[in-house]
Structure 1
Amino acid sequence: MARPNVLEVKRVASIGGGPIGAGWAAHFLARGYDVTGYLHAMGEESIYRRILDTAWVSLTALGLAPGASLARLTLTDDLDRAVADAEFVQESAPERLELKQKLYERLGTIVPSGVIIASSTSGLMMSDIQVLCPTPERTVIGHPFNPPYLLPLVEIVGGNKTSPDAVMWARDFYAHAGKAPLVMKKEIPGFVATRLQEALWREALHMVANGEATPEDIDVALMNGPAPRLTIQGQCMAFHVACGEGGMATNLDQFGPALKLPWTRLVAPELTKELRDRMVDGCNEMAQGRHFEDMAAERDRAIVGVLKAVRAARSGG
């Protein structure tokens, strides 16, 4: 089945009214696409547009593509209308397998033939999502990191019935649309980045549960330790460079035995009420009564600064 030319795609459908669906819409609008956003109900429009307005501040600071405009957005609660003219579909429906299976059963029929349907799911596998879809060969995972309008990563993988060319098309399209696509070697729950993030999260919960650190301690440690380095070097390259001329070989030969030390606990702790309350109270203390929209705006301004600085550093500017 012929697919749209990646370079000629003009209209994208973004399905879902939450932060991910609206965030994807903001990204594609900023790249100069026409976007149709599908909402479960039009009563969600005001929240959706607030997400867009927040995103647009940062996207404008980073630089909009020629012709980019919020006016190129159409919102509807009619799924057939939302995808009728789509040349690419980004699905960000709630993370419930049965719901997604039924949605893909319908999308497989109403989305124009040959058009790729990508899921933003953060943990479900496409092999499970596509079981009822009548055209599963064009369905892929296109998992972003939040907020999708700022963080470049998108993890791509197909399911058992996905055509390899659909994965490659998605990779090329996301790259053309300004993302940093990572095509996975195989399907695994949680993909790559989320699994790494969850390892950090489990360890953080253990330390809070055991009274070893507060939520603030953990965030201070990450923001002032690994985080700045990780913007330039990933974990593997950071350890390679840290060990001088010997590189990763020196790292593994010298520090390999430490891998057996009880420094990390990969099994998640029991989420007791006490642990829940410690996490909630600790985060509320750090928030100091600020509204989530204000904190999201502050986060986005800082990410924009980081992205600009990284661009400059990599270009030698």
Structure 2
Amino acid sequence: MTYRDIKTVGVVGTGLIGASWAAFFLACGFRVVATDPAPGAHERLREFIGKAWPALNRLGVAQGATPAEPIFVASLGDCVAQADFVQESGPERADIKRDTYLEMDARAAPDVILASSTSGFRPSQLQAGCRHPGRILVGHPFNPPHIVPLVEIVGSAATDPGALERAESFYKSLGKVTIRVRRELTGHVSNRLQAALWREAYHLVATGVVSAAEVDAAIAHGPGLRWALMGPMLLGELGGGAGGMQHFLDHIGPLSERIWAELGQTELTADVKKTLVESTHAEMAPLDTAAMLQERDRLLVDLINAKAQAKNLP
């Protein structure tokens, strides 16, 4: 099977990430078979798809079509048995992942890729005990995956290189931007980069240097604007002027090393969590969460569409 032969996508787990994937795959014209054991999951999935459809239309994915109805089945085995590709987005619990992959591996056709949205598990952990470990990999999206294009593709030593190629070709054919993570790491790549920022952000709030709102302002109205356009390596090249990255490293490098030496090492104790939660709640108090999410999605679509028109950005 090639990625072009994929007609039915199995969506396992229809929480926040799984529902977003289901909406995206439906908008791309696939038959979607979904399953989730949680009470009311089917209705919540239908509701999510309806809310997601305007953004998918504006991205040009749905192209004005009426939302298709996902096929919702009670059985995990029934779901994956019908699928040509599986996107699993279940709970981040080792016992649930283990049971899920053992059953999916037993019920899905041997050439069907089983891709996980997991943020924290390594492919080798998902493959343990499976008869067909070569088709199991990580296809880690970013929230919300029906809008944000990045997918991190991760395999283990046991993953078939052909499966990695097929998965990457499949995601790319749908307009996703992929990176191939060449070694298993906890949290893959982008979450590790985020975690490095969170560590210092939490330290600054926990030690009273700034509030949660001020940390957010420091990113959202400063470097975050540039990060939405290009990553730290290209920004370093541009920041070095005519001398490029070499001049940037020579000029900023000593300051960076002094900052690294002073970065905080924050442990999420009960007191630290309390400080972070209270400061964040103070920032959220005057805001309407539902309206904020709508605004977020609208601006994300605007930004993605604008970047698509750019000729000289990566």
Note whether the superposition's TM-score is higher than 0.5. Answer: yes
CA change 1:209–1:227 in 2 (3 A) is same
Aligned to 1:310: 307
Equivalent residue of 1:114, what SS? Answer: coil
Alignment of 1:195 onto 2:192: yes
- How many Å apart are 1:267 and its aligned residue? 6.2
CA change 1:121–1:306 in 2 (3 A) is same
Equivalent residue of 1:118, what SS? Answer: strand
Equivalent residue of 2:29, what SS? Answer: coil
Moved more, 70-79 or 6-15: 70-79
Instruction: Describe the superposition over 1:236-269 as per-residue Cα deviations: whole angstroms up to 9, x where unpaired.
Output: 1001111111100001122222232135766641
CA change 1:48–1:289 in 2 (3 A) is farther
Aligned to 1:246: 243
Equivalent residue of 2:82, what SS? Answer: coil
- What stretches of structure 2 of length at least 5 have no aligned partner? none
Superposition TM-score, scaled by structure 1 size: 0.92
CA change 1:278–1:49 in 2 (3 A) is farther
Q: Could you tell me how far apart the structure 2 residues matched to 1:51 and 1:264 are? A: 45
The 8 Å contact of residues 236 and 248 in structure 2, kept in 1 or not, is answered as yes
Superposition TM-score, scaled by structure 2 size: 0.93
Aligned AA (2:193)? L
Aligned AA (2:111)? G
Q: Could you tell me how far apart the structure 1 residues matched to 2:91 and 2:288 are? A: 24
Aligned AA (1:59)? L
Q: Could you tell me how far apart the structure 1 residues matched to 2:262 and 2:143 are? A: 26
The 8 Å contact of residues 22 and 32 in structure 2, kept in 1 or not, is answered as yes
Matched residue count: 313
Instruction: Describe the superposition over 1:44-86 as per-residue Cα deviations: whole angstroms up to 9, x where unpaired.
Output: 2232233222221211111134695532411122112212221
Moved more, 158-167 or 307-316: 307-316
Q: Pick from 150, 154, 160 the counterpart of residue 157 of structure 2.
A: 160
Moved more, 225-234 or 204-213: 225-234
Q: Could you tell me how far apart the structure 2 residues matched to 1:81 and 1:133 are? A: 18
Aligned to 1:215: 212
Q: Could you tell me how far apart the structure 2 residues matched to 1:83 and 1:267 are? A: 45
Q: Could you tell me how far apart the structure 1 residues matched to 2:110 and 2:74 are? A: 22
Aligned AA (1:262)? I
The 8 Å contact of residues 19 and 48 in structure 1, kept in 2 or not, is answered as no
- What stretches of structure 1 of length at least 5 have no aligned partner? none
The 8 Å contact of residues 203 and 265 in structure 1, kept in 2 or not, is answered as no
Alignment of 1:105 onto 2:99: no
Moved more, 45-54 or 299-308: 45-54
Q: Could you tell me how far apart the structure 1 residues matched to 2:163 and 2:265 are? A: 36
Equivalent residue of 2:20, what SS? Answer: helix
Alignment of 1:133 onto 2:111: no
The 8 Å contact of residues 101 and 133 in structure 1, kept in 2 or not, is answered as no
Instruction: Describe the superposition over 1:70-116 as per-residue Cα deviations: whole angstroms up to 9, x where unpaired.
Output: 32411122112212221100001111122211211111110122010
Q: Could you tell me how far apart the structure 1 residues matched to 2:205 and 2:12 are? A: 37
Aligned to 2:168: 171
Q: Could you tell me how far apart the structure 2 residues matched to 1:130 and 1:155 are? A: 18
The 8 Å contact of residues 23 and 148 in structure 1, kept in 2 or not, is answered as yes
CA change 1:131–1:185 in 2 (3 A) is same
Aligned AA (1:133)? C
Equivalent residue of 1:255, what SS? Answer: helix
The 8 Å contact of residues 77 and 103 in structure 2, kept in 1 or not, is answered as no
Alignment of 1:145 onto 2:142: yes
Q: Could you tell me how far apart the structure 2 residues matched to 1:67 and 1:111 are? A: 33
Alignment of 1:121 onto 2:86: no
Q: Could you tell me how far apart the structure 1 residues matched to 2:24 and 2:261 are? A: 37
Aligned to 1:5: 2
RMSD: 2.0
Aligned to 2:76: 79
Aligned to 1:56: 53
The 8 Å contact of residues 33 and 68 in structure 1, kept in 2 or not, is answered as no
Equivalent residue of 1:314, what SS? Answer: coil
Equivalent residue of 1:156, what SS? Answer: strand
- How many Å apart are 1:285 and its aligned residue? 2.5
Q: Could you tell me how far apart the structure 1 residues matched to 2:165 and 2:54 are? A: 32
Alignment of 1:229 onto 2:226: yes
Q: Give percent identity, aligned residues only.
A: 38
Q: Pick from 27, 32, 52 the counterpart of residue 24 of structure 2.
A: 27
Aligned to 2:93: 96
Q: Could you tell me how far apart the structure 2 residues matched to 1:287 and 1:84 are? A: 44
Q: Could you tell me how far apart the structure 2 residues matched to 1:23 and 1:267 are? A: 35
